[in-house]
């Protein structure tokens, strides 16, 4: 499945760290907006499939924070993110609202691109660390015969 | 769903929902006594008390039947967003129903529960313009010491419709709302004409 542009930036905002969003806080909050759904913390059930295609089973519950804001011009921004960070949820929802505006390219280049790069870097680092621990198992002689 | 139509609901979702629930409980525990809901949000077409009841009582497990007068895109969008309740066009599926004064002429189709599970009946939320402008009737029953005079402005037919559907423990519970106030009418309350 190919995620839409909006799916992509909402995902990037949800995975971002609060410390990466905070430099943009002043710009994000520099509009008239109201909270349609003030940031709230809840629980959601995570389900998984063994191997990605087996029968669904419940992995466990995780805490989720969500928020919906509306700017004065009617644009509505949503955010759902893992964890309990209400400030992060509000900033992410504001960013989603700004990105739906007439000039999303500024926000895309300023904010989303740098966040996505930082995330790709962290992920590559983690993958490299994990790859170093990989163990290959060989069967030299089988027991039969 | 049109995001443009969404409006903020409770200022304090947890405590305001608890206040709404408490008011509904008190209204049904003391039938006919007016309960006050000061901190209710507003939404075009819904009185604050009606909206507060919806926000406090409805969720994904409670299908709601909307009378045509309340079936506006604004109300649909906000109830779907804040309550997440499914809307149903079939009265018999509804756990709650939202009605206006004129809809009280016909109460057919709503679920009355059954003898084993009378609690599964449909609860009617009725929005009126006023709670005290009608003919005085005397209410008796559980929650009322002797009798209580209540002046609900509802059509005479409603009382007949209600009586026809009473087969205790089955029956319909009603919450009347107007402005910031509400009155409860559980199935156990008996109604008599006020003697002049």
Whether the per-residue pLDDT at B137 is higher than 60: the answer is: yes
Mean pLDDT value across residues B153-179: 92
Percentage of chain A lying above the pLDDT 90 cut: 74
**Chain B residues lying within 8 Å of A76, measured CB to CB:** 3-4, 6
Tally Cβ neighbours within 10 Å of residue B141.
16
SS3 A123: helix
Q: Report the residue of B1, B4, B8, B60 to disrupt the A interface, i.e. the one with the largest count of A CBs within 10 Å.
A: B8
Say if B81 falls within a structural domain. Answer: yes
For residues B181 and B47, the answer to whether their CB atoms sit within 8 Å is no
Q: What is the pLDDT of residue B86?
A: 95
Decide if B40 is inside a domain.
yes
Quote the number of domains for chain B: 1
Question: Please, which residues have CB within 8 angstroms of residue A115's CB and are 6 or more apart in sequence?
Answer: A12, A13, A15, A16, A20, A21
Which of A40, A70, A74 has the CB atom closest to B13's CB atom? A40
Comparing CA positions, the residue from B167, B121, B158, B165 lying closest to residue B28 is: B121
Q: Quote the pLDDT of residue B196.
A: 47
To the nearest whole Å, the CA of B49 is away from the closest chain A CA by 20
**Is B138 within a domain?**
yes
| DSSP summary character for residue B167 | B
Residues of B in contact with A6 (CB under 8 A): none
Tokens found for residue B92: 């018999």
Give domain limits for chain A. 5-130
Q: Tell me: pLDDT of B83 over 60.
A: yes
* pTM to 2 decimal places: 0.84
pLDDT (mean) for B56-75: 95
- Asked whether residue A105 carries a pLDDT value surpassing 90, the answer given is no
Q: Identify all chain B residues contacting A70, using CB atoms and an 8 Å cutoff.
A: 3, 6
CATH of the domain at B61: 3.40.50.11310
Q: Say whether the ipTM exceeds 0.90.
A: no
**pLDDT tens digit sequence for A31-87:** 999 999 999 999 999 999 988 888 999 999 999 999 999 999 889 999 999 999 999
Assigned domain for B118 exists: no
Residue B117 inside a domain? The answer is no
Tell me whether strands B96-100 and B137-140 are parallel, antiparallel or unpaired: unpaired
Q: CB–CB of B151/B132 below 8 Å? A: yes
**Please, are residues A92 and A14 in contact by the beta-carbon 8 Å criterion?**
yes
Q: Is residue B152 part of a domain?
A: yes
Say if the Cβ atoms of B6 and A40 lie within 8 Å. Answer: no
Q: How far apart are CA B94 and CA B110, in angstroms?
A: 7
């Amino acid at each position: 499945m190919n995620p839409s542009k909006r799916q992509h930036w909402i995902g990037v905002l949800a995975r971002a760290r609060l410390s990466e969003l905070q430099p943009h806080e002043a710009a994000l909050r520099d509009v008239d907006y109201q909270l349609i759904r003030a940031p709230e913390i809840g629980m959601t059930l995570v389900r998984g499939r063994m191997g990605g295609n087996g029968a669904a089973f419940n992995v466990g519950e995780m805490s989720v924070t969500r928020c919906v804001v509306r700017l004065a011009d009617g644009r509505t921004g949503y955010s759902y993110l893992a964890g309990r960070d209400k400030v992060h949820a509000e900033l992410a929802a504001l960013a989603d609202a700004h990105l739906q505006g007439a000039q999303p390219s500024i926000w895309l280049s300023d904010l989303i691109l740098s966040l996505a790069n930082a995330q790709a870097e962290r992920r590559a680092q983690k993958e490299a660390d994990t790859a170093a621990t990989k163990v290959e198992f060989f069967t030299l002689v089988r027991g039969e015969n | 769903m049109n995001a443009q139509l969404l409006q903020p609901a409770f200022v304090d979702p947890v405590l305001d929902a608890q206040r709404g629930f408490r008011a509904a409980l008190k209204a049904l525990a003391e039938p006919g006594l007016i309960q006050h809901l000061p901190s209710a949000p507003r939404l075009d077409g819904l009185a604050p008390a009606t909206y507060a009841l919806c926000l406090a009582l409805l969720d994904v497990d409670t299908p709601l039947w909307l009378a045509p007068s309340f079936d506006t895109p604004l109300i649909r969008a906000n109830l779907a967003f804040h309550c997440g309740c499914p809307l149903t066009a079939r009265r018999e599926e509804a756990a709650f129903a939202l009605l206006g004064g004129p809809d009280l002429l016909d109460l057919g189709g709503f679920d009355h529960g059954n003898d084993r599970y009378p609690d599964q009946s449909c609860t009617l939320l009725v929005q009126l313009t006023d709670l005290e402008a009608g003919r005085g009737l005397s209410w008796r029953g559980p929650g009322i010491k002797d009798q209580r005079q209540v002046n609900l402005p509802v059509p005479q037919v409603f009382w007949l419709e209600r009586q026809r559907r009473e087969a205790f423990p089955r029956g319909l519970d009603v919450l009347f709302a107007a402005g910031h106030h509400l009155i409860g009418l559980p199935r156990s309350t008996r109604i008599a004409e006020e003697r002049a």
